[in-house]
Amino acid sequence: MQGINLSFQASVFGGLLYVTITRGNTQAAGQLYAAEIWVMLSLCLFAGILTANPEFEPSEPVFSTVIHTASQQTVSVLIFWYTVWFVYTGMDQMAHPPCSRYLFSMAKVDMYHWYRVGWKIVVIPCAIMATIIFVASLRMVLLLLKKPEPKSESEKAMEAQISGVKSYSKYILLALTIFKFFVLGFTVASTELIIRWNHIQNVNSIGGTGQLIPLIVACLAFIRLLYKFFTDFKNRSPSPIVGSQVDPKVDVGVPAKPEDPDKSA
């Protein structure tokens, strides 16, 4: 499912780049609206949160895990730096008439006022952090590609580090799952309300690709969240304290009671 989410995120961002390059400087003709870009950009950004996985399965090969993480971070860093360009200069180059400049942020807000200022403040630190994580992911890939020995010290340390990430308690897992449910609901509401408020045409029908693909991916993501919530939360339980119980089948080495000398006599 993570591969599907990552592929969807990359494909939406690829389409976003295409329409920006081919139709981005047509404010006079009004062929591309800033509200349309926000729809696709919100899908890319929030899909990244649903794609991210804080846990690694020990059964999966370390190399495939690192490759997936590096691919995910590559897409994320491109999306964040595109967002930097968009909120600083790109929005001004696209059509934004008075009837088509509204976004959803727990309320109906104007995308060109305080909402844009907030994004300008937040997006640059996020882009820098994404770049740092991207460079670290590339370094991990290069370390694995070298492989001077079947099990080098760096690879052993990496395996130990990745395995150590899987130490979340079930309560932290519950909080992460609830947060992802919120992000999923916010993404669906934001996408639908932006389309309605800004009068975006040719996407109203479920049969159209503009609605059908997000609907399918949202349903699959919702099913995956439910599955992970019930399986992981059920299977995770606090580790028993060592030495708190004694297995009756195990010989703990208790010395036998010495015989009474009077009875033996």
What does pTM read for this prediction? 0.62
63-77, 108-122, 202-216, 222-236: least confident range:
202-216
Looking at per-residue pLDDT, the higher value among 180 and 240 belongs to: 180
User: Averaged over 236-240, what is the pLDDT?
Assistant: 48
Long-range contacts, 120-128 (Cβ 8 Å, 24+)? 120/87, 120/88, 123/80, 123/83, 123/84, 123/87, 124/84, 126/80, 127/77, 127/80, 127/81, 127/83, 127/84
Q: How far apart (Å, rounded) are the C-alpha atoms in residues 137 and 44?
A: 20
Tally Cβ neighbours within 10 Å of residue 240: 8
Per-residue pLDDT at 158: 55
User: Averaged over 135-163, what is the pLDDT?
Assistant: 63
